[in-house]
Structure 1
Amino acid sequence: MGRILAIDFGKVRTGIAITDELQIIASGLTTVSTNELISYLKDYVSKENVELFLIGKPKQMNNTDSESETLIVPFLEKLAKEIPQIPVKRVDERFTSKMAFQTMIDGGLKKSKRRNKALVDEISATIILQSYLYNQ
C-alpha cells in the first residue's frame, strides 16, 4: 500500500499532508511555494511510494465552484502530464481553513504562531486528508 498525499492548493503557497504507508494516520508534511509545487511533488514521489493525490475542491455555500478552481484546473492538467502514474481524487475543502485556525487555537498556539499562513495551509491539507480517510 502506498501513501496518500493531500494538497491544499493556494495561489501563493500550498499545504501538503501525507499518510503513513498503511493509510491510517494523516500528518502535515510541509508548505511549498505554489510555483515550486510540481518539482517538489516529482522529487517526493521519486523517493516515496505515493498511490494517490488528494486535492481539495473549493466550493461555495451553494455548491458551485469557487473562484480558486480556475487556478487549480491548470495545475491539475500539468500534474497529469508530469506525474501521470499517480491518480488524482478531488474532495470538498469547504471550511478547512477555518477548522485549521480553530485547531491552532484549541491546541494552545500563541497568536504569533496562528498568524503563520503556511502552518494554516499545512493543517488544512491534513484536515482534508483526515476527513478523506475517515469517510473511506
Structure 2
Amino acid sequence: MGRILAIDYGKKRTGLAVTDPLKIIATGLTTIASHALIPYLKAYIQKEQVEKIIIGMPLDLQGRETDATPLVREMIRILHKHFPAIPIEAVDERLTSRLASRSLVESGIKKQARRNKALIDEVSATILLQGYLQSVS
C-alpha cells in the first residue's frame, strides 16, 4: 500500500503532507524551498511508496485561475516528467491558507509562530490532503 502525497506549491516555498499507508490520516511532512522540491521528492519516494500525488490548484473564489496557476501547471508538467509512474491530480486549494491560519490560532500556537509562513504552507498541504481524503471516501 502506498501513501498519497500532497503538495501546496508556491514560488518560494512548498508545503508537503502525506497519508499513512492505509490512507486514513493526513499528516504534515515538511516545508521546503520550491527549487529543492524535485530532489526532495526523489529521495522521499525512494524510501516510501507513493501511490498518488495531489497538488493544490490555485483558483480565486469564483473558480477562475490566478497568477499562481501557471506556476502550478508547470510544476505538474515537471512532476509528470520525473515521476511518470505516479498519478498526479490537481485539487482545488481555495481557502486552504486561510483555514491553515485559523487552525493555528485555534490550536493555541503563539502569534509569532503563526507568522511562520513555512508552517502555514505545511498545514495548508495537510488540510488539502485531508479534504481530498474526505472527498474520495
Give me the whole-angstrom Cα distance separating, in 2, the residues matched to 1:63 and 1:83.
28
Asked if 1:31 corresponds to 2:31, the answer is yes
Runs of 4+ in 1 over 4 A off after TM superposition: none
Percent same amino acid among aligned pairs?
Answer: 51
The Cα shift of 1:74 comes to: 1.6
Amino acid at match of 2:33: S
Give the structure 2 partner of residue 73 of structure 1. 73
**CA displacement at 1:73 relative to structure 2:** 1.6
Amino acid across the alignment from 1:129: L
TM-score (norm 1): 0.98
- How many pairs align? 136
Q: Which residue is 1:104 aligned to?
A: 104
Task: Quote how far apart the aligned CAs of 1:63 are.
Answer: 1.1
Mapped to 2, the partners of 1:129 and 1:40 lie a distance apart of 19
Gaps of 5+ in 2: none
Matching residue's letter, 2:91:
V
Give the letter for the 1:113 counterpart: A
Using the alignment, how far apart are the partners of 2:19 and 2:26 within structure 1?
4
Paired residue for 1:13? 13
Structure 2 matches for 1:1-136, cutoff 5 A? 1-136=1-136
SS at match of 1:135: helix
1:49 counterpart letter in structure 2? Q
**TM-score of the superposition, structure 2-length normalised?**
0.97
- Partner of 2:65, secondary structure, is coil
- Code of the aligned partner of 1:36: A
Q: Identify unmatched segments of 5+ residues in structure 1.
A: none
